[in-house]
Structure 1
Amino acid sequence: MPAKTLHHSLLKPLDLFRSLSDAELDQALEHAQTHRLLPGDHAFKQGESASRFFVLLHGHLKVVQNTPDGEQIIVRYVNPGDIFGIAKAMRRPDYPASVYAVKESIALSWPSSEWERLLGSNPAFAANTLQTVGQRLQDAHTRIQELSTEEVEQRIARALLRLIDQSGSKTPEGVVIDFPITRQDIAEMTGTTLHTVSRLLSNWKDRGLVQSQRKRIVVCSVDELIRLAEKSSGAPATAGAAKENLKA
């Protein structure tokens, strides 16, 4: 569906579009399309030609990569306002990973031929893209370091803290990760096994740290999870958004 039919009020709350006038926004959307993704639908798959790039407007997506030996890794989650599918920025002709919806989602996309024009005409888009590429490089470095130096319990604690920082919502029980997530997902994020994740979450549940049900995880003690994440490590583990949610 052509994106120019979208009401501007749906786009203005996002950092990417906030500074644009109505005329500039109309110009940016001239060649864009909207995509409605139901849970399990893919925006694109690993290895496909990188013909479009995207911005998520609503919902949550996960980025999944298959390794040469057949293992599946969850690289990250995509939140509203995030740019994704930016193979063009990395000078790649194809997508290095697949992107799937974990809940009903709406995304905008542009043909890859529009990349240079948007960068030149939209300073916010250019700045956001640069920040996105830099953040992903930093995330990759952090993940390699965690896999090389940290125990499984630390890695899982850090993964949960990152998720509640990005998508935490306050509930009477604690801070819930605001999209469906399974124990298998956490195993694929942290380079461990489903059995190990299940054992640790059961232990944490008995200690009152988390509540874990089917596709739903609530962190009941953010401070204790931070302590576990920082155990025997000099690297700080933050959960600013989660702690603010608990105070609210």
Structure 2
Amino acid sequence: MKCSQDCRHCFRGLCIHRVPLFSSLSEENLVQIAGLIQHKNYEKGDRLISEGTTMESLIIINEGSVKAFRYTPAGREQRSYLFSEGDFFGEQYLFSDLKATYNVEALEAVKICMLTKTQLHKVLHTHPDVAIKLISELGKRIAQMENTFQSLGIRNVDARVATLLLDFASKYGEESPEGTVITLPISREGMANFLGIARETLSRKLSKFEDEGLIRSIDLKTLLVRDSGTLGDLAGLSD
């Protein structure tokens, strides 16, 4: 369903102004790109992309969060990445005829913005600095996916929660005298859904970590990581 909002008139509050990929562009250029964007809304559990399908657009998360995952030969879901507000995906398929190698599903209500293959090619031709950022992001994402496949696919719940917290700390954290303050990009329910555990299980694990002095919950959207070293040990990152 097409969103009633138009990025050309309110782009400051929509995806085009939130995506680091376009941060080097002038507001005039942003308005031009925003005029090309289409919008769709999805509910929790809706499938945005199915493995094996053709992708024709760069997809930007405007609101909400989604998970990228594959199925193992045994039919088990193997989560590889979480995308939240300001993140984008699908870019690697816009320069070839390859099919999508993962599924993408909404963890909560989601609003997305889409830039088609033809439109993105025009943007990259006109703004090579955007192309450089795109390549850089691809490299980071490949490394992140390799680590996440290992950490979330086979390890225990403590390790999976610790891995996700460290990932958030790396992407969204700000250093403070007490540790790393994280503004969570998704809800606690979204975190639980991504990890494949019940919300109550996540709450128990976070409470356990807090009792052990590893983290401190500031409010529902903010956490303080006090001991990243021990979290790294739990996640197996020191192996």
TM-score normalised by L of structure 2: 0.69
Please, which runs of 5 or more residues in structure 1 have no aligned partner? 189-193, 237-248
Q: 1:137–1:68: structure 2 CA closer, same or farther, 3 Å change rule?
A: same
1:232 and 1:112 map into 2 onto residues whose CA distance is 38
Q: Equivalent residue for 2:115?
A: 110
What is the correspondence of 1:58-69 to structure 2 with a 5 Å cutoff?
A: 58-69=63-74
Deviation at 1:123, TM superposition (A): 3.1
From 195, 201, 207, the equivalent of 1:186 is: 195
Deviation at 1:217, TM superposition (A): 9.3
User: Matched residue of 2:226: which SS?
Assistant: helix
State the aligned residue count.
Answer: 225
2:28: which partner in 1? 23
Unaligned segments of structure 2, at least 5 residues: 175-180
Closer, same or farther: CA 118–9 of 1 in aligned 2, 3 Å: same
The reply on whether 1:229 has 2:232 as its aligned counterpart is yes
User: Which amino acid is 2:229 matched to?
Assistant: I
For residues 97-154 of structure 1, give each alpha carbon's deviation from its aligned partner in whole angstroms, at most 9, with x where no partner exists. 1222223332211222333222112234312311221011211343466589988744
CA contact (8 A) 1:153 1:229 kept: no
Name the CA distance, whole Å, in 2 between partners of 1:35 and 1:232: 36
- For 2:73 and 2:154, how far apart are their aligned partners in 1? 24
Residues 13 and 68 of structure 1: CA distance in aligned 2, closer, same or farther (over 3 Å): same
Shift of 1:77: 1.0
AA aligned to 1:14 is: V
Partner amino acid for 1:9?
A: R
Check if 1:8 corresponds to 2:47: no
Measure the CA separation in 1 of the matches of 2:52 and 2:235.
39
Q: CA RMSD in A?
A: 4.1
Instruction: Name the structure 1 match of 2:167.
Output: 162
Match of 1:239 in 2: none
Identical positions, percent: 21
Is residue 2:75 matched to residue 1:70? yes
The answer as to whether partners of 2:61 and 2:86 remain within 8 angstroms in 1 is yes
- Matches of 1:28 and 1:90, distance apart in 2: 19
Q: Which residue of 2 aligns with 1:128?
A: 133
